[in-house]
Structure 1
Amino acid sequence: MKFEKFFIPSAESGVRLEIVAAKPNDKGPFPTVVFNHGSTGRGQNRSLYSRTVAPAIVAGYFVERGWMALFPQRRGRGKSEGVYGEGLAPDGSGYSCDVEIAITGFERAVEDVDAVVNYLRDRSDVDQDKLVIGGVSRGGILAIAYAGMKPNTFRGSINFNGGWLGRACPSHEFVNPTLFERGAPAEIPTLWLHGSYDQYYQIGHCRGNFERFLSAGGQGDFVAAPMGHALMFKPALWKDHVDRYLRDLTD
């Protein structure tokens, strides 16, 4: 499996986003997943901002099944240009628990996904009828919410351990369900994969987010696996669920 790296324009003038792609060897067009990265822990270690995130274990899973996997790096992350501004506190202490700052950071992330979606429409090797959005942690909640905010864009949405604020912020009890609820209008099946021992998001909180999503009209399945926040790196715990989900989406 080979990774290809390239840059696309963002919504911000003169600022480009890095994308890492992995795809099968034939010509396509391929069913395609856009997989979104998470945060950098507490946001205090700036050296993590420049680390490109494209997990080979996720790429390999999709490529082996005939899918192309795209891993966009949002502004200020990886080799993407611009400032990283997803909810950081003004004093430089890391991610802010302030609701307004957190949600403004989320909206900034949405702008970057918009740029990726616009780019995808011009790729001849993308099967436009078989697009899925996924992600882990902040990327997971972004995947669910974005699908509902921009309906008729993605056929499915896969969330690994999703949430925007961790339990160190009391405001996570408001911010996370509020953002997940934005995904409900998508009217597509979703798959929520959560670790029962996640150190950032307690499983009861995650189930509550899912119930809020369902109550707002969302559709989906919730899986609790015996793992923590690193669930994504244990495909034995989730591949059967994702296999079934993708099969149902594309049959």
Structure 2
Amino acid sequence: MKFEKFFIPSSEADARLEIVAAEPQHEGPYPTIIFNHGSTGRGHNKTLYSRTVCPAIVASYFTERGWMTIFPQRRGRGKSGGSYGEGLASDGSGYSCNVEITIAGFERAVEDMDAVVRHLRERPDVDQGRLTIGGVSRGGILSIAYAGMRPATFQGAINFNGGWLGRACATHEIVNPLIFERGTPSGIPTLWLHGIYDQYYRIEHCRENFERFLSAGGQGTFIAAPMGHALMFKPALWKDHLDQYMDGLSMSQKS
């Protein structure tokens, strides 16, 4: 596995996005997954904004299967340009519970995903017929929703502990199912991996989000694991499920 860091244009002229790519050792073109980072807790600690997020445990899993993993840092995160504007309150207290501000922050993230997909479409080392998207926390719900907002782009979508607003905001009961339902037009199988003891999203809330997603026409599998919000760092709890899911994507590609 080899890591490469570079920058791509965003929707803002002066705000480039930092990308970290983990590539398998063999030559491409590679099946490719975009893996999206989450938020920064409550959003009030600005020192967390500048951390580049590219979990080695995720990169290792996919590169060992022959997949290239793309870790985009959305605007204002990592070393990306622009301001971090994913639903922060104007008084600097952290993430806003206001529904309109929250949804506007989500839409800003969608713009960055569009920039990443444009970049991948231009890369000869990407197998254009085998694109998948995934992420953790805010990145998980973003991945499910974006796959439906841009149908016929991805084979699959993977959600680790996904949600946009945590239970500290009463409006999470409105915002999270609303965003997840945007993923229903994708027409692809999705995988939802949630921790039973997640401190941000009650497992009952996560199940309700999933059931509403299915009722609205989405497809997916829901896994509840005995872990909290750090589920992604415990592969023993999800590897078999993700193996089965990825094998299913490979079979659908061959059929």
TM-score normalised over the length of structure 2: 0.98
Give distance in 2, aligned partners of 1:156 and 1:2: 24
Deviation at 1:27, TM superposition (A): 1.1
Give distance in 2, aligned partners of 1:241 and 1:225: 11
1:182 aligned counterpart, secondary structure: helix
Give distance in 2, aligned partners of 1:3 and 1:197: 33
Deviation above 3 Å: which 4+ runs of structure 1?
none
Give distance in 1, aligned partners of 2:129 and 2:226: 34
| Alignment match, 1:68 | 68
Give distance in 1, aligned partners of 2:172 and 2:197: 17
| Alignment match, 2:84 | 84
| Alignment match, 1:166 | 166
* Cα contact 2:2–2:25 (8 A) shared by 1: no
Give distance in 1, aligned partners of 2:201 and 2:104: 21
* 1:122 partnered with 2:122: yes
* Cα contact 2:149–2:182 (8 A) shared by 1: yes
Give distance in 1, aligned partners of 2:29 and 2:11: 26
Structure 1 residue runs of 5 or longer lacking an equivalent are: none
Give distance in 1, aligned partners of 2:205 and 2:15: 36
* 1:36 partnered with 2:44: no
Give distance in 1, aligned partners of 2:235 and 2:66: 17
Residue identity in the other structure for 2:76: G
Residue identity in the other structure for 1:223: I
Deviation at 1:15, TM superposition (A): 1.2
1:140 aligned counterpart, secondary structure: helix
Residue identity in the other structure for 1:230: A
Residue identity in the other structure for 1:155: Q
Q: Deviations over 1:73-107 (max 9, x none)?
A: 00000000000000000001000000000000000
Give distance in 2, aligned partners of 1:37 and 1:192: 16
TM-score normalised over the length of structure 1: 0.99
Give distance in 1, aligned partners of 2:88 and 2:14: 23
2:31 aligned counterpart, secondary structure: strand
2:164 aligned counterpart, secondary structure: coil
Equivalent residue pairs, number: 251
Give distance in 1, aligned partners of 2:103 and 2:70: 25
Residue identity in the other structure for 2:225: A
Give the share of equivalent positions with the same residue, in percent: 76
Deviation at 1:2, TM superposition (A): 2.3
Give distance in 1, aligned partners of 2:238 and 2:221: 13
Give distance in 2, aligned partners of 1:122 and 1:242: 28
| Alignment match, 1:3 | 3
Give distance in 1, aligned partners of 2:176 and 2:13: 30
* 1:132 partnered with 2:141: no
Deviation at 1:53, TM superposition (A): 0.2
* Cα contact 2:7–2:19 (8 A) shared by 1: yes
CA RMSD of aligned residues (A): 0.5
Deviation at 1:56, TM superposition (A): 0.2
| Alignment match, 2:109 | 109
